Structure 1
Amino acid sequence: MPGRHVTDHQMRLYMKFRQTASPTVAAAKASISAAAAYRFEHDHRLPSDHQQIRGRRRPDPLADFFEAEIVPMLKAAPELRAVAIFEEMQRRHPALSAGIRRTLERRIRSWRALHGADQEVIFRQVHEPGRMGLSDFTDMADLGVTIAGERVDHRLYHFRLIYSGFEHAHVILGGESYVALAEGLQNALWALGGAPLEHRSDSLSAAFHNLDTDIRDDLARRYDALCAHYGMQPTRNNRGVAHENGSVESSHGHLKKAVGDALLIRGTNDFDDLASYRHFIDEIVSRKNARSTKRIEAERPALQPLPGQRTCDYEETVVTVTSSGGFMLKKVFYTVPSRLIGHRLRVRLYDDRLDLFIGGTPLMTLVRGRADAAGKRAHVVDYRHVIHALRRKPMALLGLVYRDQLFPRDAYRQTFDRLLERLPEKSACRLMVNLLALAHERGCAADLATLLAADLEAGQLPDLATLRERFAPDPAALPAVTVHLMPLTAYEALVGNDNEIGAAA
């Protein structure tokens, strides 16, 4: 055919057809031109025998220093990048053209193919149903998710069955920890309805970071006990070798892209509360699992049955409530009702909350706080726990360590700043404490914050008397209770009936 070179295969076909046909007919059958056929009649060499190895058309720009300088560098440091070698050659040879970078990279690649070190080989595995489940954490901070307007830096605990592709994700507010792993793993297993024979995670180095040896050993024992509770064999991949957990590592990217697309379709990254965001993640994962329904249903019979109940997915510790009206736990100060001062409380520490017990009696649940990255202490404060004490000591508000965390909404903090600008410190503290007491006693923290924000915008100070009247109980809304007094003779009739019954007996 015009514009295409004749191959050895075509010439062999021509020779076969030439045994019974003319040169023109044999050429047509072999898809070559008649001219090529007649040339072959005079020269029986194959096309490959005519080809000559083409030499260089220009001088080799690397001839002077590749063997002398670059090869010793590659032998001494096999992991050295080609771009680093190129920059070093430019430093040593200032006249070297920048246009030879690609030539150098190809030459280094060819040298490594011939003389380089052996590389790691990834062995593809045959996966059995019900055999292995994988766990890992992935950072979601780059999606810019906010809850009630505040940015939340979080991770997802991600579980995946390697055979069917069943997935489960759980929002983690803190870092990688045993508590997060235990809670997320158990949620996944109970959502799945069974447990695989083997559970693989990473080396858990992030979860055990900066822990004492005894604590690390204790958490390792707890992880082994967690897997034993569900009949799973615990395994870990080697530290820093992500592809050993590749069946879940690779799906991180797909899940994060699915979440990002869903946020774009939703039109906003803000959620009312944590529960709403978790429900949003659950819907995305459910849609992904729906595409693998047949494989998941086929794998379920191969899974182990679940035990009768979940096992421990929290850390437990004992704290003492100090005279400050709270306790310190993991560099975070939590307030509790002052009647608990001096008592020892048992605390169950979850990823997102604290459950408090006194003895075996449950007391309350607190939102979990976390110290910042620099290690600065944090505060989780409920103003209702301390407002009665502040009313007796209003000036304590001025220098209170956790003053900013005390205010239930930002409008209260801004109001206090305005009061300090306009009033003496004593009057400002007293008025602010009375406003907090009003919010607590009348249960109107949100509505009062709206009025305070309006006063701030109008440039005026809040009027305590007007606000008390505004949030006073409405007499018309109170039910009318009428008490009817019974005459004493009615009770005497009852006594008489009891006597008659006793006599009959």
Structure 2
Amino acid sequence: MTYKPITDQQLRLYMTDLQNHSQRTSAARAGFSERSARRFDADPTPPSQRKIVHGRTVSDPLDGYWQNDLLPLLENDSALQAVTLLRHLQGLHPVAFPDDRIRRTLERRVRQWRALKGPERDIIFRQVPEPGYMAQSDFTHAEELEVTIADLPFPHLLYHFVMVYSRWEHVGVVLGGESFTALAENLQQALWSMGGVPQNHRTDSLSAAFRNLTADQRKDMTRRYDAFVGHYGMDASRNNRGEAHENGAVESQNRHLKTAIKQALILRGSRDFACIEDYRRFVDMLVARRNRQRAAAVQAERAHLKPLPQRRTIDFTEIVVPVSRTGGFLVKSIFYSAPSQLIGQRLRVHLYDDRIEAFLGSSLVVSHPRARGRVDGHRVHVINYHHVIHALRRKPQALWSSIYRDSLFPRTEYAEA
């Protein structure tokens, strides 16, 4: 209960009621405690005429220790925590400070010192968003959603694109990690869904996307990203590492988005989906409903967007691979099968986040869901049984010890049989 000073009117009411009522009743009618009533009985001076004395009611437990032992440490490095200072005191004066009884007192003292004498702190300057000027992108982990596909855990990321002015958003389900392919593919889809191009596109430092890359690979990724934004006529910017508030529009929306997905999953009654496409459709419908609530702001922003180019640009990674005598090719240490007629040919493979497409000249000849390597180091095989069934008819015993035997079954029922 907030303390309120007693007024002269309350004291007069108390003195009047005291002629007909008990001390407790008179104090209650006046609105103060019985203890205050005893104090007024001993000294009936009106509150307005009393001299207010501010000071400690108990002795300072840090008297002498604060100035001599603690203050020099704080002035040298203000990052020291109160509990660290307490342990330091206990080491210097074990008899005076045998326990943590003064911890709260020390925390208040340190907090007050930082407010009065501490170093200057950074200030976040809120910006006035301009329609059509900036869009922000970010990847956010989605393990907390606890989504499963066919009753199996589904680790994934969510790519989140947000227009700063209208808060229009686009969300993509990313199967791999942060990469140029995942960024470019989903960013391009977001721009064409929005129907226009903002002047500036901001991301974080993309440190996860550059992890484990050589210097040449980093330069190549930077060059490809610059070419991508140049194709759309956007300016590219990045916030400083560790300064998430510089990408604040999408960072704050990440939290709201995942909360909305959690709530929708609760209403759905299940977090399990039959396939990835069903989960993507679920997310797309949720995002569409959220965007409808921003229709007026989106309409105003679209008037300030630059037009889309005549065509899309490359949003995949391209590599050239040979098809070996084992009936397939290697992409990032993953073996993918191919029709036997392609043995000896060199294919151009387009790597997307969720699939690969292989071309002989300009003809699409192979398409597979994209796989990722296993943590135990064993090679992963992606086999289309149509590519090898003709050979197995002639060599049925080859199936028994084939290194990709378990990968070529069209359904799990075959593997169980």
| TM bucket normalised to smaller | 0.7 to 0.9
What is the alpha-carbon distance in structure 1 between the residues aligned to residue 105 and residue 391 of structure 2? 78
What is the alpha-carbon distance in structure 2 between the residues aligned to residue 165 and residue 194 of structure 1? 15
What is the alpha-carbon distance in structure 2 between the residues aligned to residue 258 and residue 84 of structure 1? 40
**TM-score when scaled to structure 1?**
0.70
Q: Which residue of 1 aligns with 2:25?
A: none
Q: Which residue of 2 aligns with 1:187?
A: 189
Alpha-carbon deviation of 1:238? 0.9
Decide which moves more: 176-185 or 78-87: 78-87
Q: Which residue of 2 aligns with 1:377?
A: 379
What is the alpha-carbon distance in structure 1 between the residues aligned to residue 356 and residue 162 of structure 2? 28
**TM-score when scaled to structure 2?**
0.84
Q: Which residue of 2 aligns with 1:203?
A: 205
Structure 2 unmatched ranges of 5 or more: 10-45
Q: Which residue of 2 aligns with 1:401?
A: 403
1:5 pairs with 2:6: yes
Q: Which residue of 1 aligns with 2:34?
A: none
Q: Which residue of 1 aligns with 2:40?
A: none
Shift in CA distance, 405/53, structure 1 to aligned 2, threshold 3 Å: same
Deviations 1:452-482 (A, max 9, x none): xxxxxxxxxxxxxxxxxxxxxxxxxxxxxxx
Aligned amino acid, residue 72 of structure 1: P
Alpha-carbon deviation of 1:213? 1.3
What is the alpha-carbon distance in structure 1 between the residues aligned to residue 102 and residue 164 of structure 2? 46
Aligned amino acid, residue 225 of structure 1: A
Contact 2:6 2:47 in 1 (8 A): no
What is the alpha-carbon distance in structure 2 between the residues aligned to residue 342 and residue 226 of structure 1? 33
Contact 1:331 1:376 in 2 (8 A): no
Q: Say how many residue pairs are matched.
A: 380
Shift in CA distance, 78/373, structure 1 to aligned 2, threshold 3 Å: farther
Contact 2:7 2:47 in 1 (8 A): no
Structure 1 unmatched ranges of 5 or more: 11-44, 416-505
What is the alpha-carbon distance in structure 2 between the residues aligned to residue 375 and residue 127 of structure 1? 48
Alpha-carbon deviation of 1:200? 0.5
Shift in CA distance, 282/48, structure 1 to aligned 2, threshold 3 Å: farther
Q: Which residue of 2 aligns with 1:70?
A: 70
Q: Which residue of 2 aligns with 1:83?
A: 83
Aligned amino acid, residue 100 of structure 1: I
Q: Which residue of 1 aligns with 2:134?
A: 132
1:52 pairs with 2:53: yes
Contact 2:138 2:160 in 1 (8 A): yes
What is the alpha-carbon distance in structure 1 between the residues aligned to residue 363 and residue 297 of structure 2? 45
Aligned amino acid, residue 110 of structure 1: Q
What is the alpha-carbon distance in structure 1 between the residues aligned to residue 92 and residue 251 of structure 2? 42
Q: Which residue of 1 aligns with 2:306?
A: 304
Q: Secondary structure at the match of 2:176?
A: coil
Deviations 1:244-269 (A, max 9, x none): 10111011000000001101110111
What is the alpha-carbon distance in structure 2 between the residues aligned to residue 161 and residue 48 of structure 1? 62
Alpha-carbon deviation of 1:82? 3.0
Aligned amino acid, residue 239 of structure 1: R
Q: Which residue of 1 aligns with 2:150?
A: 148
Shift in CA distance, 333/75, structure 1 to aligned 2, threshold 3 Å: farther
Deviations 1:140-196 (A, max 9, x none): 122111122222111111011111111111111110111111111111111111111
Q: Which residue of 2 aligns with 1:164?
A: 166
Deviations 1:346-396 (A, max 9, x none): 101111011111111111311001113465532212233223333433443
Q: Which residue of 2 aligns with 1:222?
A: 224
Shift in CA distance, 218/49, structure 1 to aligned 2, threshold 3 Å: farther
Alpha-carbon deviation of 1:60? 2.1
Q: Which residue of 1 aligns with 2:235?
A: 233
Q: Higher Cα Rg: structure 1 or 2?
A: 1
What is the alpha-carbon distance in structure 2 between the residues aligned to residue 209 and residue 242 of structure 1? 19
1:246 pairs with 2:248: yes
Alpha-carbon deviation of 1:322? 1.0
User: What is the aligned-residue RMSD (CA, Å)?
Assistant: 2.6
1:320 pairs with 2:322: yes
Q: Secondary structure at the match of 1:234?
A: strand
Q: Which residue of 2 aligns with 1:390?
A: 392
What is the alpha-carbon distance in structure 1 between the residues aligned to residue 239 and residue 376 of structure 2? 30
What is the alpha-carbon distance in structure 1 between the residues aligned to residue 364 and residue 228 of structure 2? 25
Q: Which residue of 2 aligns with 1:256?
A: 258
What is the alpha-carbon distance in structure 2 between the residues aligned to residue 405 and residue 100 of structure 1? 65
What is the alpha-carbon distance in structure 1 between the residues aligned to residue 316 and residue 108 of structure 2? 55
Q: Secondary structure at the match of 2:303?
A: helix
Contact 1:78 1:116 in 2 (8 A): yes
Following superposition of structure 1 onto structure 2, how do residues 440-455 of structure 1 map, counting pairs within 5 Å? Answer: none
What is the alpha-carbon distance in structure 2 between the residues aligned to residue 320 and residue 271 of structure 1? 37
Question: Using CA pairs below 8 Å that are at least 6 residues apart, which structure has the higher relative contact order?
Answer: 2
Decide which moves more: 387-396 or 285-294: 387-396
Alpha-carbon deviation of 1:324? 1.4
Contact 2:148 2:154 in 1 (8 A): yes
Contact 1:194 1:303 in 2 (8 A): yes
Find 1:173's aligned residue among 172, 175, 197: 175
Shift in CA distance, 200/374, structure 1 to aligned 2, threshold 3 Å: farther
What is the alpha-carbon distance in structure 1 between the residues aligned to residue 143 and residue 385 of structure 2? 30
Deviations 1:183-217 (A, max 9, x none): 11111111111111111111111111111112211
What is the alpha-carbon distance in structure 2 between the residues aligned to residue 168 and residue 337 of structure 1? 37
Aligned amino acid, residue 60 of structure 1: D
Shift in CA distance, 398/100, structure 1 to aligned 2, threshold 3 Å: farther
Aligned amino acid, residue 50 of structure 1: K
Contact 1:347 1:356 in 2 (8 A): yes
What is the alpha-carbon distance in structure 2 between the residues aligned to residue 403 and residue 63 of structure 1? 78
Q: Which residue of 1 aligns with 2:31?
A: none
Alpha-carbon deviation of 1:6? 4.0
Q: Which residue of 1 aligns with 2:338?
A: 336
What is the alpha-carbon distance in structure 2 between the residues aligned to residue 93 and residue 156 of structure 1? 53
What is the alpha-carbon distance in structure 2 between the residues aligned to residue 80 and residue 376 of structure 1? 48
Q: Which residue of 2 aligns with 1:438?
A: none
Shift in CA distance, 390/118, structure 1 to aligned 2, threshold 3 Å: same
